[in-house]
Amino acid sequence: MGGLFVLLWLAIATSVYSPWWGVVLHVLVLVPVVMWVVRWAQTRPAACTFVPLAGLPLLALVTAVGVTQGGWSA
C-alpha cells in the first residue's frame, strides 16, 4: 500500500508543472495499477508489493510526453 501512496503523491505533485487535466491523466494511469494490486493481494500478497514499481515508468512516460508534446513546464 505504501508504494501506491507514493505513486499517488507523485501523480498529484505533477500539478506543479502540468495543467489540471495532466494531473487527472496521471491519476487515471494509476487505476490499472491499483486494480492489479487488489487482484494480486488475494492470490500473491508477497508479490503485490512490487507492482507499484511497474507504475513508476508509466508515470514517467506520461510526464515525458506531456513535457515534450504538451508543452508542460514549471
**DSSP per-residue letters across 42-63:** HH-TTGGGGTHHHHHHHHHHHH
pLDDT at 5 over 90: yes
Domain ranges of the chain: 2-68
Q: Which of 56, 73, 54 is nearest to 8 (CA)?
A: 56
Identify the DSSP state of 14. Answer: G
Per-residue pLDDT reduced to its tens digit, 7-66: 999 999 999 999 999 999 999 999 999 999 999 999 999 888 898 998 999 999 999 999
More confident residue, 1 or 31: 31
45 phi and psi angles, rounded to 5 deg:
-60, -35
User: What grid cell was written down for 40?
Assistant: 494480486
pLDDT at 74 over 90: no
More confident residue, 62 or 73: 62
User: What grid cell was written down for 30?
Assistant: 494509476
